[in-house]
Chain A
Amino acid sequence: MKKFIAIYTRLLTINAAALVAYRMNMINSIIGSGVWGAFSIITVLLLTSKTTAVLGWSQADFMVLAAVQSIFVGIFDFFFSRNIERFPRYVELGQLDSFLLKPIAARVLISSLYINYGSLIRLLIGMLFLSYLLTTLHIPVSNMQVLFFIFALCVGIILLYSLCFLLVTITIWFTRLSNIIELLYTLRGASRFPLAIFKEVSVLLFIIFFPLTVIVTRPTEFLLAKTSYENIIPMSVVALMLFLLSQLFWKFALRSYTSASS
């Protein structure tokens, strides 16, 4: 653990240096992140402007959900998105070898090499918007609610990370399937809508969207006291199982890695 913290601190510095070196990249990333965050919030505002409540979610609830989604995506993109997006390329070009040969768990290094500072803008937008909503709408939030909110957010990040890793591991067999991760991001986009929408519509859609909508809906529900604290258990169990499954699958997939084109 100590070794990993030392490596991660170094990675943070290297990525910050790269950020300054490739300034245009940084500006694009910041603008893109900001525009994305702002538009998703404005869309929800417009969508709910004439509605009192949809499936038990008021306009204020929807806005809190949009803010939490922005926070969630900001954190996830900061730590993982770029790393997961690059994975199919490592496999296709045979670059995975260099990770496997290093004296650190390959999965850890693959998942943490690139840090997206640009996404902090989205995180900031989400946090500012959430604070604004909680203050102006006088939403009472207890310390316990905040604690469960943060915990559920962390569990959600583990859940999404495990799902992403599970999916990109498939590219070890199907190297051309590089857009698999975009599919997951589309599903993640649906997380700005309450889980109840999919539950109401069809069982199949609910199953497909469930892990991805729960990641944002559940923390929001804790913050708004819309669910009981026990509901953290099934979410945590699913996250833990997915994490273990992704690890097993990763180990199994590595046996089929042929290092083609390296």
Chain B
Amino acid sequence: MNQYLQIAKNTWDEAVTYRTSFILYRFREVLQLLSMYFLWYFVSHSQQGFFDYTQSSILTYVLISAFVGDIVFATRTTAIASEINEGVLANFLLRPMSYLRYHFARDIGDKALNISFSLIELFVVFLILQPPFQFQTEFITNMLFIVSVLLAVILHFFISVLIAFVGFWSNEGWGPRFIFYQAIGFFSGGLFPLDILPFPIFTAFQFLPFSYLTYFPAKIYLGNVSQTELIQGFLIQVCWIFIMYKLVMIVWRKGLRSYTAQGR
């Protein structure tokens, strides 16, 4: 356990060492958040309510989904494809530790740093803009929100690893990842709440894993989820984690069989 904690700590230290690069990345995230925030601000301001959302609930959704996105999508698994392609994976296979746990620990370190910065940024945004934010006061709802975010973190980790495993068979692992992240902003509810989509599309989205990365946790925070929807949502989220885990293990075993440590 200690070795993985050390790996997480190293990831943190690594990011802090190249701080200009990291601060630039965070600055980019803040600008992205601000542009989305103001767009929604004016769209919701120009009319009485937006679908089933009031101005305060839509702006709360925008801020919370940005925060959840910072936690869920911060990842170091992007390095896996190149580690496979360059033969670096061979080094890890010889070490007395799990390659997947190593990357999960790196993700935790990365997320910890992103959460710290995200909280500071949100604090500043609140201080300056004083948005009409709906603070969730229900203890149970807050707990459920935290659980859904943790499950989203695990789900995203497996999806991201699965995409990176393309590296076993192709040198162009960036392609599927690029397309995935193009689509994820849309399918996960990071750009808008998914329930504003036409009902059949929204229903279909609920059975895909992506809406459980941002939309579902954000909706729980808003307290707009009925008990039935909550149970159904958590069940689907857990099911997708299980499916993704199984897929990752199958692909990992198959990939290792075809791995030639090329480049070593």
Contacts and interface: CB of A to CB of B under 8 A. Distances in A.
Contacts of A21: none
A55 interface: yes
Interface stretch (A72-80, A198-206, A250-258): A198-206
A190 B33 CA distance: 10
A182 B176 CA distance: 19
Contacts of A25: 172, 175
A34 to B, nearest CB: 9
Contacts of A8: none
Contacts of A183: 24-25, 27-28, 31
B176 A28 contact: yes
A48 B197 CA distance: 12
A28 B175 contact: yes
Interface string B22-35: 00110110011011
B192 interface: yes
Contact of A189 (B35, B42, B51, B175): B35
B39 interface: yes
Interface footprint category on B: 20 to 34
Contact of A55 (B20, B35, B42, B179): B42
Contacts of B46: 51-55
Given A47-B192, A48-B43, A179 B25 contact: yes
- Chain A interface, >50% SS class: helix
B213 to A, nearest CB: 16
Contacts, number: 96
B178 interface: yes
Interface footprint category on A: 35 or more
B18 interface: yes
Contacts of B51: 50
Given A54-B42, A200-B42, A46 B192 contact: yes
A35 B175 contact: no
Interface string A118-143: 00000000000000000000000000
A68 B172 CA distance: 31
A190 B35 contact: yes
Given A28-B175, A51-B43, A183-B24, A39 B182 contact: yes
Given A51-B47, A176-B18, A183-B27, A189 B32 contact: yes
Contacts of B196: 46, 49
Interface string A17-42: 00000101101110110011001001
A197 B43 CA distance: 10
Contacts of B6: none
A180 interface: yes
A209 interface: yes
A262 interface: no
A233 to B, nearest CB: 27
B183 A47 contact: no
A193 interface: yes
Given A24-B170, A186-B31, A43 B47 contact: no
A174 interface: yes
Given A39-B186, A50-B47, A178 B21 contact: yes
B188 to A, nearest CB: 12
A179 to B, nearest CB: 6
Interface in A167-215: 174, 176-180, 182-183, 186-187, 189-190, 193, 197-198, 200-201, 205, 208-209
Contact of A32 (B21, B35, B175, B186): B175
A35 B21 contact: no
Contacts of A52: 46-47
Contacts of B39: 47, 193, 197
Question: 3 smallest A-B Cβ distances: which pairs?
Answer: A28-B175, A190-B35, A186-B28
Interface of B: 18, 20-21, 24-25, 27-28, 31-32, 34-35, 38-39, 42-43, 46-47, 50-51, 170, 172, 174-176, 178-179, 182-183, 185-186, 191-192, 196-197
7 contacts: A32-B178, A32-B182, A35-B183, A179-B21, A179-B24, A197-B38, A205-B38
